[in-house]
Structure 1
């Protein structure tokens, strides 16, 4: 979808952080406006990236929110590079990577997610998510696992809200057959997939193993489409989350998705396969 080409992914990320930091400081937009001598509408526009942000205004907000010097410099550096295309961030753990994705998942009109290893995050059950997280890192404490599961579950609220986005979830058959957490957990995950696939805003497609080699072997990705803002591609690996917004990148991933869908079963056939595999568990 066409959008405002001047609203870069970095600007949108700064805006999301400003909103989150204000809320953590337990301040309203009116509080900030009154203290800094700004209009309430300007504070609101800055938090939605619907107008330009001046370094001085952002720095004043960060000071009001008592943001650490390191975090303050990170946000201001991002703002100074706001006109650059694309954005990536390397983190030591998953919480920040997911938080960045949540900021963008909350706004799109359509999400298209291909996964070749695990169930799409927006369709995972809590117990599947926990088993997956602990399988990836068995050094996590129960408390750390609880926080990560809660973070991932919070992402799913976007699918059931008023004016929920359309979700196209495409998965390799291998995803459905990998026994994450054991048979019981996987069985319930498959039933959950089947139930959610019946929602009017969710479409599930499966690429059967018999498809052989296909473009999905190159990895998972998510395309987020917005109304009035540029679309994004999100790619995540072991410790890096990337948001791509160049026209060439978007075109490349859309072509990849088109090729994947050409190899995938239709929605009704996909639902039948999910039920069949669930019955085998």
Structure 2
């Protein structure tokens, strides 16, 4: 694995070729990104591909064949190749290989571009279907942010989703990690005080449309993180429960876990994306540090 360093007058960033995963995000010498601790959660900002979340019973069906695939897919555990870099930008690439084809029968190319501008880091995903058949996939982000900056405690933080509109909320079946779409309902609340009980039923999952942002701020100081995106259909907000980990994840997704009542067919999976042969898909989110 190789660590890439980028910096400007405001931010210092580190990214690992393994998983193309963000490793560090500093401003004023303060680390905003969770540094990983297996006691709570050993990862930091994994890329979720070719699925987001869990599959019912750990498998899916495609063309009458059954495939086993772990939660959030395999990209986070694969070595990417760095194919381009400059002072404030780096691009990583992952391609289908013999190992991926055993669990995901599509010839894909995944590129991830990190761009540093001022106090913002943008992350662009580009998925290309290099095969001849229609391709089905999900992709998502999972960055974890420290919430004990400059004497602030976990309970000093809040999450604010903008714009202030009603959004569909999707409950999770805690025992299986799958969705309960039959219990989906609209929520009008947009501000969530961070507490352990907030995450007692796992992640808070909302459907999103258009331009959306989530602000993680606190009442003790001006340190904050904002994650923003356009036209991604879902966001997950998560921290560990009941373990008291000092981080909160803000996760924009183009894909989502299985419904508890799914039949397992990948082509009709809720939230799945499809790409015709040789076509590309792209999506971008931005992390703003204050």
Larger radius of gyration: 1
More helix, by proportion: 1
* Higher relative contact order structure (alpha carbons within 8 Å, sequence separation ≥ 6): 1
TM-score surpassing 0.5?
no
More strand, by proportion: 2
